[in-house]
Structure 1
């Protein structure tokens, strides 16, 4: 039966009620009730009929009774629902509400609109807060309500000094009332900060821990008898319901996941312990080998399934995959995986793949054919002398690299000669390809000459070609040079700093006049070629020493870019690793999915003098040795580990943070060196504000130059 109170229009009730947007119905289950209570933090949830009218409520007490009785989550709540409900019309005067609350031990009521539909809840928290704000003289009534509702309550004066606490809050905090009265509220409850109390304009809802209880506190202001502002804090214990709901959800989720993996997976699974005895076997494997489960558990694997060869994995600690085997005309393979604990083998898992292997074979055949076609296409593209990379393949999250890519992209669309500088392995050739790919010459040839890889006596003929009989061993019909091949397109001169002085002079003439003579030839050859050059050598120093022509340097250095080394953009290390793992899995047939956090920590701390090229090589080597699908510390080369502090499980988070801090500190110092100590320029170079830079200078105690 639902009690209804008379209708008199006032507005106070709408202001103090908790709006209701979620409802239960006759068909709702225990699980749905728990979900709403956990999300909304309500003690009661209204239940409505098909027309949205109030039928009753589901309370926290009913929830406890159903859980203690062992009711399943799918149990309908209708038989347990409470129909004897205190309900208020939305325009009920507040004095009537006070009387009802005074004469009732019910902690919550339902607010109804004119159509008898629930629109809100008036809870003990709302009532308690309103009573406190209305009059301090209602203290006895307030304490009775709070005791019934199990709320903890604290009231302060205008100086934030505690003037009232109830017994429930003292129990939560584990202190006597006399130990709390007169203290500042922020001293009693450290999670409530002074600034939060002073600057609060409206009520604050937050989760805090009081003693051993997890609670939701409602912190609000009220007018004191002096006309100033004090504070009321009401604490609702949510530990029990939260813990119960979390445990129920966790058990349900894990049970569903494990049941699906074990019963529905295509793979048969068997697990043995260190003694070689079976500790688990999946239903699909029992079905495949026609076993009796009762006669397999705790039995030696070599006596039940010796053909799987799992005991040798326990001895060797090395994962491997068997050849194709057969049982009852069904082919299968076994993936043998050691189980490690504290670096010791404590057992092994056998994953048996036997379903749809023929389809897998066919798919691999199609994949191989596709790869072969792609390889042929790539070879044809190489033979066509075209660029193979674009700016989309330059992966970075570093501000300076992003800025560099934008600048190079602008320069690529012009005709000017470009000089790309940077340490070995930073990706100079990648940038050269990308420049050509978006230039007006993208449809024309892109020709590469590695000036350091071609013998000195052959460089000139490689550049300019030669006529028939130009020298001993020359081809009968002569040969066209790289300039001929690049006509109308781009010629990329890699390691340009390694050219000899005589060849530098001839290259300068081509750049100035747009023409050259073939070796042994007398005819002028006119060409239209854009030059992109790259070097890791200090050309300015070479000019001063006379090993590089000054006029050629200025011809090549029309637009110059320098690619920062990997150690100055360590944020890119793990980003590049993700890309390389995907590529190397395809090319090498590995199945690595990620890098262990400890290995990541070491990679972030390593200097990478070989830059991106070294990173890829180290990653490829580690992926070959990775056995668990994840790159571990032991998979990294010894020379990397020796040059980096080795973390352990306890130190890892701290060490990783220290390495990141050191990388940030080094980057800031380099920026200050490049800007001669100018903080504004250094901040712009780093892509941060001046205020942030000042904070970091103070944090790392860096003094300006």
Structure 2
């Protein structure tokens, strides 16, 4: 007997057995009952004193305990008809020094009601698992098709047509464009029109995941790879996207150390989990996207040239909104329909003056900025028409022309020899412009400093320092 078990007081043993198994019986090699607990006797309509030392088949009808004690073959979850109902029984042989010396049996459910109650609980868990599995499968499907890409400008239509043409290929695609131009929508649409449409579409933002987690997120990890690793390991995004499409957003922000590992996967078509020894074959189409100038990053040594050429098999440049202003009314209508569903509203429209303001704005945040403006407006309107008063402050107060050149021209035309133009130092002029840009970005992102920093394409620390410098809270 295990030395640890010997330390347990003898009077604890029976209590432990009764706690772990509500109904239990122990027989010797001949099938004679050596032990049976009170719970089992109560169910059988007998007593412990009357049952012990008797053949088990005389006490328990339809028993197989004496058979298990002879054959040494365990019987798990066996149906056992008794007292007009069916129990679920487990029977195990007891082996000592390699010889079968007896058997132990326990009853899991003594009535059909108990079984049904257990089944109900298990069924609930099964249904819950099914729900989350279905939800996960839906999330791994692409959400948009080419019909969802709105626009009629020549530059946009040319890009859309090229995207449709190359969607049937398995080649890597590199989407270039400013933040908010809809690169991810193009990625979804390309996948949805490809031969892989019925399989997984997995999107991952390379800029939003800390460097030390990016490798395990992309390639997965094996059991015990690091402290806190999930038991049994975890699949990476490449494995999840196998035979489907993997969308790597903000690829230009991927650390150099990860770029070399990604290149190996693309070349060898296999991944190796963190802490793992074996290689796992994967067949994945890569769609990458960035708002950064990768060619410049290659020149600066911040992006691997060989990875750039591996990704840049087919390049699509998504035009910014300022180059397709004639699409603004159509895009606005589409976004309003989407927002109506979100806010349970109907029939929301733009006033003529608002539409004119939208057409004149330069839209540094592109379609994402436009959607934020419309959502902000819907939050403050009482009726169904968005007026100028409902727009963010920077659109309400905009000059007749929104670009600095036209503003300067307007001011210059108004000057007379008697009204000199106020002159500020270059340093102060730049500071004023910088402060206004930060305020506009914060207005656009509803005060979200992280999003504002991203919109201005500066680091978080630098953004906070500038806010402190200009007393912006």
Per chain length, whose mean CA-contact separation is higher, i.e. which structure has more relative contact order (CA < 8 Å, sep 6+)? Answer: 2
Aligned match of 2:348? 593
The secondary structure found in structure 1 opposite 2:224 is coil
Whether the aligned pair in 2 keeps the contact of 1:606 and 1:644 (CA below 8 Å) is no
Structure whose CA Rg is larger: 1
Matched, 1:494 2:249: yes
Report how far residue 379 of structure 1 moved. Answer: 7.6
Whether the 8 Å contact between 2:360 and 2:401 is mirrored in structure 1 is no
CA displacement, residues 297-322 of structure 1 (integer Å, 9 cap, x when unaligned): xxxxxxxxxxxxxxxxxxxxxxxxxx
Shift of 1:593: 2.7
CA distance in 2, matches of 1:492, 1:454: 14
Alignment of 1:349-388 (within 5 A): 380=135, 383-388=138-143
Query: For the residues of structure 2 that align with 1:526 and 1:563, how far apart are their CA atoms?
Result: 33
SS in 1 for 2:263: helix
TM-score, with structure 2 as normaliser: 0.56
CA drift at 1:628: 3.0
Which of 264, 275, 288 is the matching residue for 1:509? 264
Q: Secondary structure at the match of 1:519?
A: coil
Query: 2:175 touches 2:183 (CA, 8 Å); kept in 1?
Result: yes
Match of 1:579 in 2: 334
**1:570 counterpart = 2:325:** yes
Unaligned runs of 5+ in 2: 1-130, 403-473
Structure 2 CA distance, aligned partners of 1:387 and 1:526?
23
The residue that corresponds to 2:298 in the other structure is: 543
Determine whether 1:603 maps to 2:343.
no
Aligned 8 A contact 1:488 1:528 in 2? yes
* Structure 1: distance between partners of 2:146 and 2:346: 28
Aligned length: 273
TM-score by length of 1: 0.38
Cα displacement (A) at 1:382: 5.6
Q: CA 1:378–1:617 in structure 2 vs 1: closer, same or farther (change >3 Å)?
A: farther
Residue 395 (structure 1) shift? 0.8
SS in 2 for 1:407: helix
Q: Aligned Cα RMSD in Å?
A: 2.1
Q: Counterpart of 1:602 in 2: which secondary structure?
A: helix
In the other structure, the counterpart of 2:390 is: 635
Instruction: Give the Cα separation in 2 of the matches to 1:606 and 1:595.
Output: 15
Change over 3 Å in CA distance of 1:519–1:457 after alignment to 2: same
Match in the other structure for 2:158? 403
Q: 1:379 to 1:398 in 2, by over 3 A?
A: farther
Whole-Å Cα distance in 2 between the matches of residues 379 and 639 of structure 1? 44
Question: Offset of 1:633 from its aligned partner?
Answer: 0.6
Deviation at 1:627, TM superposition (A): 2.2
Q: Secondary structure at the match of 2:286?
A: strand
1:414 to 166, 169, 176: 169
Cα distance, 1:399 vs structure 2: 1.2
Give, in angstroms, the shift of residue 586 of structure 1: 1.6
Alignment match, 1:425: 180
Structure-1 residue corresponding to 2:226:
471
Contact 2:181–2:367 (Cα < 8 Å) also in 1: yes
Which runs of no fewer than 5 residues in structure 1 stay unpaired?
1-375, 648-705
Q: Which residue of 2 aligns with 1:394?
A: 149
Structure 2 equivalent of residue 480 of structure 1 = 235
Cα deviations across residues 370-427 of structure 1 (Å, max 9, x unaligned)? Answer: xxxxxx9998266451111100100111111111111111111011100001000000
CA separation in 2, counterparts of 1:411 and 1:646? 39
The whole-number CA distance in structure 2 between the counterparts of 1:378 and 1:413 is 28
Q: Aligned in 2, Cα 1:379/1:428: closer, same or farther, shift over 3 Å?
A: farther
Deviation at residue 591 of structure 1 after TM alignment: 3.8
Alpha-carbon contact 1:592-1:631 (below 8 Å) kept: no
- Name the structure 2 match of 1:84: none
Q: CA deviation at 1:510?
A: 0.7
